[in-house]
Amino acid sequence: MFSSFFAKTKPINYFVLSGFLLGLYALCLFFSLKGDWSQMFLPLEIMGFVALLLSIFVINEMVRTEKVTNFNSFAMLFFVLLLPAFSDTLSDKNAIFSNFFLMLAVWRLLGIRSLRNVKHKIFDATFLIGVASLFFDWALIYLILVFLVINLYDGKTFKNWLVPPVALATLFILTLTLFIVYDNLSFFGNQYQFSLDFLFNEPLAWLFRPKAMVYLLLMLLAILFVFMRTRKKGGGKLVSLRVVFMAFILGLLLDVLNSDQTSTILFTFFPASIFLANFLESVKREKIREAVLALCIFIPVLLLVIELNR
């Protein structure tokens, strides 16, 4: 039932996932406020929900245009299901906004495969990563992915390597102008601190998050399986999946750099949803696929109930 419903992309799928996301967001907001509605800033909450909602549509468009999975709703579904599994992510608006712009950046980088408008796509991706860093400073490490993709697709064109600095300079000039107008030049010093406190305070804190470790183990198994299967089939999909895998690794690195908070694991959800969708597609027996998907739905809901009852 579940697999057949989400096996195709229909308008009803958007409504179901959007409705589930709205209910989840409202439920987590209600429990986090604990009746003290004075703490809620409604415009910010609306923008946070809209960013998550748009993330679903970005994933769908990425699947359709870049063909990182078959054209179905599985990737959107897994992205939404990972949110209740790690419900703390919904309270960190900076992580939500930063993740949204990073998803757009990865989408532009995947589009370089066509070798059309390469410089424009590199500029857009770098600019979007810079915007993401305005919400979370360590998002700038995704620039590594930009240079890896340049080397992967069109590294012989020297001008491509000059585009990222130009994009960052453009963003800096625009934001500097804005902060001069609003007399807030201290923003840069406060935002871009690139703290390495995790090296000195609790360098192994990530290892003591059992839920995160189980998630990482399951994802590595799924990724390994997907790569082995895709390599046997061949085709251009393997290169795109390598880019998505690097995005997953950088997301994990971001979470380690910010190991005192669990919200930054959100940066891994998009690439994880792509690999989980590919894994589910590889399950050919309908009954087994239904059982796997039902389990994938039940466990996040159970984790959410346990988290809310604490």
Supply the pLDDT for residue 67.
Answer: 87
| Residue 203 in this model has a pLDDT that exceeds 70 | no
- CA–CA gap between residue 151 and residue 112 (Å, rounded): 11
Work out the average pLDDT over 209-217.
Answer: 86
User: pLDDT tens digits, residue range 74-116?
Assistant: 999 999 999 999 988 888 899 999 999 999 999 999 999 888 8
When pLDDT is cut at 50, 70 and 90, the band that residue 218 belongs to is very high
Is residue 77 within 8 Å of residue 69, measured between CB atoms? no
| Residue 299 in this model has a pLDDT that exceeds 80 | yes
| Residue 40 in this model has a pLDDT that exceeds 80 | no
- CA–CA gap between residue 182 and residue 176 (Å, rounded): 10
When pLDDT is cut at 50, 70 and 90, the band that residue 208 belongs to is low
CA angle 55, 215, 88 (to 5 degrees): 55
Supply the pLDDT for residue 155.
Answer: 82
pTM of the model: 0.93
Report which of 154, 140, 74 is spatially closest to residue 109, judged by C-alpha positions. 154
Supply the pLDDT for residue 71.
Answer: 84
CA-to-CA dists, residue 308 to 28, 42, 81, 82, angstroms: 8, 21, 16, 16
Least confident piece of the model among 64-73, 181-190, 219-228: 181-190
Torsions phi, psi for 108 (to 5 deg): -65, -40
* Residue carrying the six token digits 């902060």: 179
Torsions phi, psi for 236 (to 5 deg): -80, -5
Enumerate helices (H) and strands (E) in the chain, giving the number of each: 13, 0
CA-to-CA dists, residue 228 to 63, 136, 151, 182, 282, angstroms: 20, 34, 24, 53, 11
User: pLDDT tens digits, residue range 147-192?
Assistant: 999 998 888 888 999 999 999 999 999 999 988 888 777 888 788 8
Is residue 101 within 8 Å of residue 141, measured between CB atoms? no
How do the domains of the chain map onto residue ranges?
Answer: 2-92+202-308, 116-194
3-state helix, strand, coil in the chain (%, to 5): 80, 0, 20
For the record, the structure tokens of 90 come out as: 């919904």
Transcribe 86-138 into DSSP letters: TGGGGG-HHHHHHHHHHHHHHHHHHGGGG-SSHHHHHHHHHHHHHHHHTT-GG
| Residue 32 in this model has a pLDDT that exceeds 90 | no
Handedness of CA 120, 123, 129, 131 (dihedral sign): negative
User: pLDDT tens digits, residue range 135-147?
Assistant: 988 899 999 999 9
Helix H or strand E encompassing 140: none
Supply the pLDDT for residue 221.
Answer: 94
63-66 contacts at long range (C-beta below 8 A, 24 or more positions apart): 63/274, 63/277, 64/9, 65/111, 66/107, 66/110, 66/111, 66/113, 66/240
- Please state, rounded to an integer, the average pLDDT across all residues of the chain: 87
